Amino acid sequence: MSNVVYEEREVKRSRYAVAAVFAVHGAVTGSFATRVPWIQDHAGVSPGQLGIALAFPALGASVAMPLAGSVSHRFGARNALRALIALWTLSLVLPSLAPNLLTLCLALFTYGATAGMADVAMNALGVEVENRLGRSIMSGLHGMWSAGALVGSAAGTLAAHLGSDARLHHVLAAAVLTVAGVLSCQWVLDLQPAEDEEPPPRFALPPRSALLIGAIGFCAVFAEGASLDWSAVYLREQLETSAGLAAACTTGFTLTMAIARIAGDKVVDRFGAVRTVRASGVFAVLGGLLIVVAEHPAVAMTGFALMGLGIAVVVPLCFAAAGRSGSNPSLAIAGVATITYTSGLVAPSAIGMLAQATSLMVSFALVTLLSCGIVAFARVLRPGDRAAISRPDAAVPDPRP
């Protein structure tokens, strides 16, 4: 077997391995989210205190993400991802052990920090595999994250329905997911820094190349966070629907995003990142307008579905563009990830404060306005020369001794 064929097989196998890591990462999130009420009761915190505590995962991620590049440089991409995904899966246990607000905040900060660093490492590897394959895969990888989150949520819902202790549930989930994550890392590309490559700074602000890309991601994640947290409330309070129908709207939004991400790579390969994101932005704006003017639940639900369809592929393509935007892909990806995580932190509270001062309709008018930014700045996602990276003679690490 020629080296070229062997290397091509290694890259393809790495694609599936990274996809499995994305699914594991999502499953941890889904497992945690469904047990938040149990964790709140166990820690004895009020709803307001819980809101404060739930800001700490994003804070931890924002602080730790810029460190991921130096970890990968020092230990190599495969070892770094193996360690970081294990830390992330094991950190699932911490919040359920917290007996009070202070320990819950510390646990969630650690939980978010490990999540963010693993997020940067797996996205950097995903971008590298995409470059070497010469076709889009990032949307599908994020679709696998969504699928993993749905599986984790389903398992958590079953555990909650059975009345199980979240500590036992999360210990078992962490054990299974740690094994799955570590085993999957065996087949990811073992990228090593060149001998003359300067190590990245231990902590650095996002590079300029990441700022505009991150701005598009900010708009998309703001719309995602607003829709996930407020769609059910919007239907319940603004349109006076039943609780069941309101919950169905949020589920429909999540499902639309997952399907669009899984199918998104073929669209990107056919039409390119810029045109795909520009059209996606149009769908998001149209969805926002339907939400704002809706007087019937079906119209609002259609609007949220269009919103999910419109923003689904934006963040994966932002990561892909960041990975090709400069000489230090990990630093650019960390910058984009930090900006998008910040958006996810800001969006729910910003929507709530604006709704309290005005109305939910005005809040979603803001979401619609930000969605216009996706259309306006889509051109910054124009891909670089991927052909040079994806040539068969490109330097693909040979894992054989």
Give the mean model confidence (pLDDT) for residues 300-319.
94
Confidence of residue 8 (pLDDT cuts 50, 70, 90): confident
Within 13 Å of residue 7, how many CA atoms lie on the same side as its CB? Answer: 15
Confidence of residue 198 (pLDDT cuts 50, 70, 90): low
Pair 285, 310: CB distance under 8 Å: yes
d(CA 34, CA 168): 14
Quote the pLDDT of residue 284.
97
* Residue that wins the pLDDT comparison between 319 and 323: 319
Confidence of residue 6 (pLDDT cuts 50, 70, 90): low
Quote the pLDDT of residue 393.
37
Lowest mean pLDDT among 10-19, 195-204, 368-377: 195-204
Q: Is the per-residue pLDDT at 316 higher than 70?
A: yes
pLDDT digits (tens, 9 = 90+) for 285-295: 999 999 999 99
Give the mean model confidence (pLDDT) for residues 365-386.
86
d(CA 76, CA 57): 26
Q: Is the per-residue pLDDT at 3 higher than 70?
A: no
Amino acid at residue number 204: A
The average confidence (pLDDT) of the chain is 86
pLDDT digits (tens, 9 = 90+) for 224-271: 888 887 888 898 888 988 877 887 888 788 888 888 999 999 999 999
> Exposed, middle or buried, 139 (CB in 10 Å: 0-12/13-18/19+)?
buried
Contacts of 234-238 with C-beta under 8 Å, sequence gap 24+, read 234/291, 234/300, 234/360, 234/364, 235/297, 235/300, 235/301, 237/360, 238/300, 238/359, 238/360, 238/361
Residue 326 is classified by DSSP as: S
SS3 212: helix
pLDDT digits (tens, 9 = 90+) for 90-134: 999 999 999 999 999 999 999 999 999 999 999 999 999 998 998
Give the mean model confidence (pLDDT) for residues 392-399.
36
Q: Is the per-residue pLDDT at 387 higher than 80?
A: no
Question: Of 21, 16, 11, 1, whose CA–CA distance to 191 is shortest?
Answer: 11
For the chain, what percent of residues have pLDDT higher than 90?
50
For residue 277, CA distances in Å to 143, 211, 291, 373 come to 16, 17, 21, 11
Quote the pLDDT of residue 311.
95
- From the centroid of its chain, how far is CA 339? 12
Measured on CA atoms in the order 164, 167, 172, 173, is the torsion positive or negative? positive
Pair 381, 318: CB distance under 8 Å: yes
Quote the pLDDT of residue 90.
97
Question: Of 327, 330, 290, whose CA–CA distance to 308 is shortest?
Answer: 290
Residue with tokens 């890591």: 21
Pair 133, 15: CB distance under 8 Å: yes
Confidence of residue 391 (pLDDT cuts 50, 70, 90): very low
pLDDT digits (tens, 9 = 90+) for 141-169: 999 998 898 888 888 888 888 889 999 99
Lowest mean pLDDT among 172-176, 179-183, 232-236: 232-236
Please report the domains of the chain, with CATH numbers, ordered by start residue.
1-189 (1.20.1250.20), 204-383 (1.20.1250.20)
Quote the pLDDT of residue 309.
93
Quote the pLDDT of residue 389.
36
Amino acid at residue number 21: V
**Structure pTM?**
0.82
Question: Of 26, 227, 263, whose CA–CA distance to 139 is shortest?
Answer: 263
Amino acid at residue number 364: F
Two structure tokens written together for 227 = 């829709």
Quote the pLDDT of residue 69.
80
Give the mean model confidence (pLDDT) for residues 375-398.
57
Polymer length of the chain? 401
Q: Is the per-residue pLDDT at 179 higher than 90?
A: yes
Confidence of residue 186 (pLDDT cuts 50, 70, 90): very high
Quote the pLDDT of residue 211.
85
Pair 186, 17: CB distance under 8 Å: yes
* Residue that wins the pLDDT comparison between 234 and 204: 234
Confidence of residue 196 (pLDDT cuts 50, 70, 90): low
Please report, to the nearest 10 degrees, the dihedral formed by the alpha carbons of residues 392, 21, 26, 35 taken in order: 180
Residue 276 neighbours by CB distance under 10 Å: 23
Quote the pLDDT of residue 287.
97
